[in-house]
Structure 1
Amino acid sequence: MSAQPQIELVDIDKHYGSFHALKNINLSIPKGQFVALVGPSGCGKSTLLRSLAGLESITGGTMKIAGEVMNGVPPRKRDVAMVFQSYALYPHMTVEQNLTYSLRLKRVPKAEAKKAADEVAKTIGLQQLMHRYPRELSGGQRQRVAMGRAIIRHPKAFLFDEPLSNLDAALRVHMRKEIRALHDRLGATSVYVTHDQIEAMTMADHVVVMRDGVIEQQGSPLELYDRPATRFVGGFIGSPAMNFISGTVAADGQSIALELDGSGALPIGRGLEPGRKVTVGLRPEHVEVGPAAAAQITLPVAVVESTGSLTYLTTGGDPELTVVITGRSDIRAGQTVGLSIAPGRVHIFDPETDRAL
């Protein structure tokens, strides 16, 4: 018999008047799993998280936390802790007072609350900051306090609403490691909302890609990367984004003639209906650059960008293609190059439904 999910969403719907914000959402989260909700602005990910917290009421469906139905249960009785993008600290309270606030509301004895705060402070590296006020802290330190305030409650689930959006790039990388390590130490169940697919891919056990209020695809990060179910997921997961080229299956059914301002045809390693229109997806890091004479695609290079460890090529013509080369390259803008890709690396989508073939 399988274990009871810590969070279970069945046929969740949410309407704002005539606007259908969440459409038939089904999601099961085992205890201890780290789940990322990711998608573009307006896709419904924050609405779903706020519905879990009880800050939004759902229109239809069933929402369970630790096996108990939460429909209509107020936020304070759901036993979940939310960490906001804005930190939401009390400016007139010290770090210690912010950490113990929820315990003091429950009339936990002062000594017991202080002991709990000291334990949490040790867990997240705040021991030296307990008597400071939020205005005396850096952004990363404030975010640690916000997480500590959630941890001290020992909730059934942690809900993160884009908690790193206000931090600079280097601190974001550091904090995402800290949040994931903290999740593992606590054995917590975490739901993390972000618009940044790199955060989702590097932090989560399970990624839920949302679009226009529906779950477009869900699975492990590498499942979504290797086997995107739709063109949208293929383009959203991975950086730089997947290249898309229109094409037509050749008469042999084993290759695709590409519609490029250059020349190109790709073997696909499996049979498709001859003459069928398709959209081909090529990940920039899977395209190999070589001599034009031996390549599947021949195109001029328009832009060359190097970071030292990686070189990015952008081809001319329509559509532009992005190619990533590991290390440095002596290729220059204006040069014509050959591009090749293994058949197993080619993603093929139906141009009408955008679903993978």
Structure 2
Amino acid sequence: MTAQIELKNIEKHYGSFHALKNVSLTIDKGSFVALVGPSGCGKSTLLRSIAGLETISSGELSIAGKTMTGVPPRHRDIAMVFQSYALYPHMTVEENLTYSLRLHGVGKAEAKAKAAEVAQTTGLGQLLPRYPRQLSGGQRQRVAMGRAIIRNPKAFLFDEPLSNLDAALRVQMRKEIRALHDRLGATSVYVTHDQIEAMTMADWVVVMRDGIIEQQGRPLDLYDHPVNRFVAGFIGSPAMNFIEGKIASDGRAVDLVGGERIPLARQAEPNQPVVAGLRPEHMKLATGTPTFHFPVGNVESTGSATYLTSADGHLQLVQSERSTVSVGDRVGVEIDPTLIHLFDPQSGKRI
């Protein structure tokens, strides 16, 4: 693959605050990359640095093989879609779409033809005469995306574009954004705090925390093989359960506080303290000999699934069916030993 965007050893300081710390990332042409992480992790700062809206303190940034150091945003040939839509309220949809073209001297007839083409691609064909105030949130977001598409840029940058939409519309719009990406063969960089958006939309997910990249890779690789406890807890919904314990003297199980034992599928170093990671969807109510037990403190049913939470709130189990379990019951749990993750309690790194 050809690299469309390359970042090498990027540093960003705001006075004494170190926002980006030695960030290196290669984004291939035509790929869809999601930057994900909690609030304040640096993902939006990184996106704005690519756009040229933030000046990097040090490091090298290139787009389509050209160094962007000192190049203003308007000359980087990228298009950005914001959370706030940023539409001109006094302009029609067509005028919003064609505004950037007209600024660059494109003739009225050509701009109008391009607007019609983009409107067809984004489902805005019947809305060209309307003003933003006459549109729904989803329609306004389509206009914002259409305004980016019409320029045919080298990359699309999305800064949490679905945050203002309701849950059902977010699901619909993430499908539409991914479909647009595939139709256009675009290079897309998408910032979100929602790991479900990242997992379902992106080819490549970059997990950030405190200005560094904790892990990057294909979505299911991050789910199956998290490099540390932070990534394990961030990727997956509901979040992974963590239980403290110690490797048994034979190295083949984790001994839990209270005397119960979780068998392992591999040999581990005996007697070392560990944190066992168990995904809620991998835990099942035992039909035979249980792996361990917990008292149920809360039961939530969505109809298609049931969520059981332990009395202390530290464990959650997901059943893909309705359940007869009640609050106060003590349930036996089993889990495939090959699906158990182990982490160092001090460093958080995967063992």
Q: TM-score range by the shorter chain?
A: over 0.9
Partner of residue 335, structure 2: 341
SS at match of 1:200: helix
Out of 288, 293, 302, which is 1:298 matched to?
A: 293
Letter of the 2:239 counterpart: A
1:315 aligns with 2:288: no
SS at match of 1:122: helix
Partner of residue 354, structure 1: 348
Partner of residue 158, structure 1: 156
Out of 281, 284, 289, which is 1:288 matched to?
A: 284
Partner of residue 29, structure 1: 27
Q: How far apart in 2 are the matches of 1:264 and 1:167?
A: 45
Identical pairs, percent: 68
Partner of residue 228, structure 2: 230
Partner of residue 271, structure 1: 267
Out of 246, 249, 254, which is 2:247 matched to?
A: 249
Q: How far apart in 1 are the matches of 2:293 and 2:88?
A: 60
Relative to the length of structure 2, the TM-score reads: 0.98
Out of 209, 216, 219, which is 1:218 matched to?
A: 216
Partner of residue 56, structure 1: 54
SS at match of 1:127: coil
- By how many angstroms is 1:71 displaced? 1.1
Partner of residue 200, structure 1: 198
SS at match of 1:89: coil
Q: How far apart in 2 are the matches of 1:4 and 1:195?
A: 28
Q: How far apart in 2 are the matches of 1:189 and 1:313?
A: 41
Q: How many matched pairs? A: 351
Relative to the length of structure 1, the TM-score reads: 0.97
Please list every run of 5 or more consecutive structure 2 residues that lacks an aligned counterpart in the other structure.
none
Partner of residue 330, structure 1: 324
Contact 1:22 1:214 in 2 (8 A): yes
Contact 1:6 1:29 in 2 (8 A): yes
- By how many angstroms is 1:169 displaced? 0.5
Contact 1:263 1:299 in 2 (8 A): no
Partner of residue 16, structure 1: 14
Q: How far apart in 2 are the matches of 1:272 and 1:184?
A: 44
Out of 149, 152, 168, which is 2:147 matched to?
A: 149
Q: CA RMSD in A?
A: 1.0
Partner of residue 240, structure 1: 238
Out of 128, 131, 134, which is 1:133 matched to?
A: 131
Contact 1:4 1:67 in 2 (8 A): no
Please list every run of 5 or more consecutive structure 1 residues that lacks an aligned counterpart in the other structure.
none
Q: How far apart in 2 are the matches of 1:139 and 1:4?
A: 36
- By how many angstroms is 1:264 displaced? 2.4
Question: How far does the alpha carbon of each residue in 1:37-82 deviate from its partner, in whole angstroms, 9 at most, with x for none?
Answer: 0000000000000000000000111101000001110000000000
1:80-159 counterparts in 2 under 5 A?
A: 80-159=78-157
Q: How far apart in 2 are the matches of 1:158 and 1:269?
A: 44
Q: How far apart in 1 are the matches of 2:285 and 2:298?
A: 15
Runs of 4+ in 1 over 2 A off after TM superposition: none
- By how many angstroms is 1:320 displaced? 2.3
Q: How far apart in 2 are the matches of 1:17 and 1:201?
A: 34
Q: How far apart in 1 are the matches of 2:55 and 2:260?
A: 52
Higher alpha-carbon deviation: 144-153 or 268-277: 268-277
Q: How far apart in 2 are the matches of 1:24 and 1:313?
A: 41
Partner of residue 165, structure 2: 167
